[in-house]
Structure 1
Amino acid sequence: MEHISDVEIIAPNFKRRLSGVTSTIIQLVPVQRRLGQKVATLGPGLPETLPQIGFLSLLSLWSPPKARTQRIWHARRNLEMLPAIILRDLLRMKLKIVFTSASQRRHTGWSKFLIGRMDAVIATSSKTAAYLEVPSTTILHGIDAERFFPADDKPAAKTMLGLPADKNIAGCFGRIRHQKGTDLFVDAMIALLPDRPDWIAIVAGRATGAHVAFEAALKEKVRAAGLAERILFVGEHTNIPCWYRALDLFIAPQRWEGFGLTPLESMATGVPVVATDVGAFAELLATDDSSPGTIPGTSMGSSVGQLIEADAPEAMMAAAAGLMDDPAMARRCAENGLARATARFTIDGEARSIGAVYERLLNGAF
């Protein structure tokens, strides 16, 4: 446990189950610490390796940390904003509250009430910022290049995972559910693979609760199409960067997304991307030389991949087929995506930008 007097930033995590927010905290906090930001986590569901404080430490928040007059409470959910407001406004503790929003829809009245009482707000994309009714700073998520990097030997990367080294592999990673568009990926592969014997496909992730039947129906559809040996459901894995390194094409078929790291993770591992125009995907794939219409049916051709409309099966099949059938274009997209990810979207850059918000807030610049 960290001593509260040494902690300047509190990163609460009040949801026990793993989520995108939890994953962000797990990846970001060690980088923030390495950069000198005195942050500690609070709450369940986090690795013991992260710096933490206990709930009893909150009784000490009337006293500021060393060399500061106040602390930062960095909330990422509604249920983390409300306690901070109580601590700051009712108990008069020395806190400034930062909220990071990834939502891309109109906020409820309750959310607006909470957000309106923040000292600073961070949006994870320009689309997210457009839904906020308060001033915000846009900071896109970054990628950890020490975890996500290209394979030196692609066939060996495939063999290590028990995948055929002599096949090209298209992948779709994440929770298996309708929102994530897993069915669109499966349908595209059922249509494309019979004419492309040198390709297989993998779905990595798991279905939870009400989505188990959805996954079962997809597996049955694959079996009925006679492709059970070529469209593989490999489950959820902790070594997901290794699975990216085995891919030759990544497809992000989401119908809706708050931010969505999977295209960025793919780019960082040198894999070309087809992604729907949801979340921050357009900002991740957009480049100065993006030009429309390079593949029929797509909404935008980019030098790092293909951006398509959401819930558009024909566009997805056209974009995937274009990259499957043109290795030279796929290679260019992979190279350009890697360069863009490492130049523009590092997790160190994200942490530094967040740190700048903290400093401006503590120095009274907001």
Structure 2
Amino acid sequence: TSTSTSTSTSGTPPEPRAGTGPGTRGTPPGPRGDSGPGGSGDGAAARPLVVCVGRLCRQKGQDVLLRAWEDVLGVLPGARLVLVGDGPEDTALRRQAPPSVRFTGAVADVVPWYRAADLVVLPSRWEGMALAPLEALGCGRPVVVTDVDGARESLPPALAAHCLVPPEDPVALAGAITALLSDRPLRVALGAQGRRHVLTRHDVRHTAEQITAVYRELLGRAPTASDATAQPVPSECRESIHS
């Protein structure tokens, strides 16, 4: 969850603490101007690229996104959509999709797609704790997510007005997508805010420090010198967030 509280051994409720949430692996790459796989990465005026990363299943709501996409194309006929991932709804979604939608299938490394995107969308019906928006924000890309537990927590408060939509509402989703694709300065600003949020709140090292602080409080001890010199877990030893 995005916020948590605990009860101290003295029986006095402590101050609320920001939740320890998931961490992204190391420092995510920032924005850059190159194009990546089939995308512009800079809001190319007539052909902006929207990317949706996730398993192709009912939970992730790609069918809602495809319904919204019809309205997006009505305003921005050159817009492109890429669905990154595979899953049980692949065939049905391909039947529903117009020619401007590309399916990648399973992808080992999704970061190039985030970096190629002008906007990343997560239209989930429900979530546990969504990592895709954190990864996208870490790459400096703005996101649109649905207002469901596990997704809304990924957004810093300043982004909610532009980036949070009701679940299963293709009209609202299309409106948010169209508004952001039509406003490059706003996308850049939101992406920068989101990246700062991820680096300060969701980097795996920060998350590890938060968890350590919780255990210290539960054990009733102060930080030690060994805590200060502890090394972060090497990237190669961490479980892939896409497994």
Match of 2:165 in 1: 308
Cα gap change, 1:280/1:217 in structure 2, threshold over 3 Å: closer, same or farther?
Answer: closer
The higher-RCO structure (CA 8 Å, 6+ apart) is 2
Q: How big is the alpha-carbon RMSD for the aligned residues of Structure 1 and Structure 2? A: 2.5
Pair 1:154-2:11 in alignment: no
Q: Return the letter of the residue paired with 2:167.
A: A
Q: How many residue pairs were aligned?
A: 207
Q: Any conservation in 2 of the 1:189–1:231 contact (CA below 8 Å)?
A: no
In the TM superposition, what are the counterparts of 1:13-92 in structure 2 within 5 Å? none
Q: Any conservation in 2 of the 1:260–1:279 contact (CA below 8 Å)?
A: no
Match of 1:27 in 2: none
Cα gap change, 1:347/1:357 in structure 2, threshold over 3 Å: closer, same or farther?
Answer: same
**Correspondence for 1:142 among 23, 39, 57:** 23
The superposition leaves residues 110-135 of structure 1 with CA deviations (integer Å, 9 ceiling, x where unpaired) of xxxxxxxxxxxxxx334x88xxxxx9
Q: Report the TM-score, using the length of structure 1 for normalisation.
A: 0.52
What's the offset of the Cα at 1:281?
2.9
Distance 1:154 1:190 in 2: 28
Q: Any conservation in 1 of the 2:165–2:173 contact (CA below 8 Å)?
A: yes
Q: Any conservation in 2 of the 1:145–1:342 contact (CA below 8 Å)?
A: no
In the TM superposition, what are the counterparts of 1:129-208 in structure 2 within 5 Å? 138-146=19-27, 148-155=28-35, 157=36, 161=37, 163-165=38-40, 167-207=47-87
Distance 1:309 1:171 in 2: 19
Cα gap change, 1:164/1:285 in structure 2, threshold over 3 Å: closer, same or farther?
Answer: closer
Q: Any conservation in 2 of the 1:266–1:273 contact (CA below 8 Å)?
A: yes
Pair 1:318-2:175 in alignment: yes
Q: Any conservation in 1 of the 2:130–2:154 contact (CA below 8 Å)?
A: no
Q: Any conservation in 2 of the 1:270–1:335 contact (CA below 8 Å)?
A: yes
Stretches of structure 1 lacking an aligned partner (at least 5 in a row): 1-123, 130-134, 291-299
Match of 1:216 in 2: 91
Q: Any conservation in 1 of the 2:56–2:62 contact (CA below 8 Å)?
A: yes
Match of 1:348 in 2: 205
% identical equivalent positions: 29
**Correspondence for 1:231 among 88, 96, 101:** 101
Cα gap change, 1:267/1:164 in structure 2, threshold over 3 Å: closer, same or farther?
Answer: closer
Q: Any conservation in 2 of the 1:203–1:233 contact (CA below 8 Å)?
A: yes
* Higher Rg: 1
